[in-house]
């Protein structure tokens, strides 16, 4: 598995990450298989959030790691905070208490990365800066990032925060390509030209912020998986044909499409199936041409101007 520098942080992490949102309900042997398979295929980066399974997902992961032959020092742990019941909360006190909770549940002394989970319009960047500094100085968090933020929101943070913003977790898949569409259809009076994200794709590239695509197999907002879905016949025909040609699975092709983009993204895969993790891990081996990349883009229903 190829290693990438996460947002010029110096953390050399696997270019595919395992998202742990759904692991709360796994049986012990299933959790063990998921973790060990990921590590066996070279995936060493695991994405959490304090709200996943109401904290249970972090506990299940920690227990699985304790039974594994791998050590904490061999992996990278990322967690997120800021989502509370009926609101978002980026206050200093909540960030600090949320990190303490994640550290306790993950049974670790530090997080490699902490992301702010979705934008809080009531955020006071001075408080966030204070929280980040306290967490970094205490050694409890090594690096910091955001989730689902636009350039203006990140710039507001950067005005006050001393630490680099190393990652931005954003929804992106073959069927959710808004941040790509607007950059292709510039100066066009069509829906695909609408920039809903403030040029976030190019902004992250300019500022060495690693984009972490979440739900890379989903269409809509958690409406379902597009692979093997009758709603997307042309896309699946194109993916399946390329998968046969490359000798990999359709899931590997969907991730390879993201990895081929020069932004050097780090997709977050949310499967809890160990065998699927092994299949998806083939994605970095896929050599995809520019023509093949655009063929999949067009098969998803997009058009070029």
pLDDT, one tens digit per residue, over 164-213 is 999 999 999 999 999 999 999 999 999 999 999 999 999 999 999 999 99
In a domain, 305, yes or no: no
Determine contact, residues 268/259, Cβ cutoff 8 Å.
Answer: no
Give the number of other CB atoms < 10 A from CB of residue 86: 5
pLDDT at 23 > cutoff 90: yes
CATH of residue 205's domain is 3.20.20.100
**110 is annotated as an active-site residue:** no
pLDDT, one tens digit per residue, over 73-111 is 999 999 999 999 999 999 999 999 999 999 999 999 999
- pLDDT of res. 55: 97
pLDDT, one tens digit per residue, over 214-241 is 999 999 988 899 999 999 999 999 999 9
- pLDDT of res. 222: 84
**Residue 265 CB partners (closer than 8 Å, separation 6+):** 172, 210, 211, 212, 213, 258, 259
Strand partners, 218: 225
In a domain, 107, yes or no: yes
- pLDDT of res. 221: 86
**Residue 102 CB partners (closer than 8 Å, separation 6+):** 48, 50, 58, 79, 81, 111
For residues 34-57, give the mean pLDDT.
Answer: 98
Q: Got the DSSP string for 176-220?
A: B-HHHHHHHSTT-SSGGG--SSSSHHHHHHHTT-EEEEESTTEET
In a domain, 259, yes or no: yes
Domain count, the chain: 1
In a domain, 277, yes or no: yes
Provide the token pair at 287. Answer: 């050599």
In a domain, 72, yes or no: yes
**Residue 180 CB partners (closer than 8 Å, separation 6+):** 172, 201, 297
In a domain, 304, yes or no: no
Nearest alpha-carbon partner for 118 in 17, 49, 220, 22: 49
Which structural domain, as residue segments, surrounds residue 64? 3-299
pLDDT, one tens digit per residue, over 60-72 is 999 999 999 999 9
For 20, list phi and psi in degrees, rounded to 5: -105, 25
In a domain, 141, yes or no: yes
pLDDT, one tens digit per residue, over 262-305 is 999 999 999 999 999 999 999 999 999 999 999 999 999 999 99
pLDDT, one tens digit per residue, over 128-167 is 999 999 999 999 999 999 999 999 999 999 999 999 999 9
Give the number of other CB atoms < 10 A from CB of residue 66: 9
Nearest alpha-carbon partner for 52 in 79, 86, 88: 79
Cα separation, 223 vs 19, in Å, equals 18
Determine contact, residues 16/278, Cβ cutoff 8 Å.
Answer: no
Cα separation, 169 vs 147, in Å, equals 4
DSSP strand pairing (111-116 vs 141-147): parallel
Cα separation, 216 vs 183, in Å, equals 20
Residue 290 belongs to what H/E stretch? helix 290-299
């Amino acid at each position: 598995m190829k290693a990438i520098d996460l947002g010029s942080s110096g953390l050399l992490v696997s270019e595919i990450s395992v998202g742990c949102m759904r692991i709360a309900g796994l049986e012990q042997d299933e959790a063990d298989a998921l973790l060990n398979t990921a590590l066996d295929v070279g995936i060493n980066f695991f994405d959490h959030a304090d709200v996943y399974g109401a904290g249970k997902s972090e506990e299940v992961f920690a227990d699985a790691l304790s039974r594994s032959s791998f050590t904490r020092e061999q992996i990278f742990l990322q967690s997120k905070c800021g989502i509370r019941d009926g609101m978002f909360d980026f206050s200093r006190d909540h960030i600090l208490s949320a990190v303490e909770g994640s550290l306790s549940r993950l049974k670790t002394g530090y997080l490699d990365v902490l992301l702010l989970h979705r934008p809080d319009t009531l955020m006071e960047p001075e408080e966030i800066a204070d929280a980040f500094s306290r967490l970094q100085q205490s050694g409890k968090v090594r690096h910091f990032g955001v989730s689902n933020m636009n350039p203006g929101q990140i710039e507001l943070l950067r005005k006050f925060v001393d630490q680099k913003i190393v990652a931005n977790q954003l929804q992106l898949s073959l069927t959710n390509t808004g941040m790509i569409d607007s950059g292709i259809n510039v100066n066009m009076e069509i829906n695909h030209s609408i920039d809903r994200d403030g040029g976030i794709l190019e902004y992250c590239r300019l500022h060495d912020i690693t984009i972490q695509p979440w739900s890379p197999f989903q269409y809509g907002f958690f409406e379902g998986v597009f692979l093997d879905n009758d709603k997307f016949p042309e896309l699946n025909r194109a993916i399946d044909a390329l998968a046969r040609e490359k000798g990999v699975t359709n899931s590997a092709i969907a991730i390879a499409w993201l990895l081929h983009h020069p932004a050097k993204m780090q997709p977050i895969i949310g499967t809890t199936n160990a065998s699927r993790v092994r299949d998806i891990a083939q994605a970095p081996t896929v050599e995809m041409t520019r023509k093949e990349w655009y063929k999949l883009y067009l098969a998803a229903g997009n058009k070029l101007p």
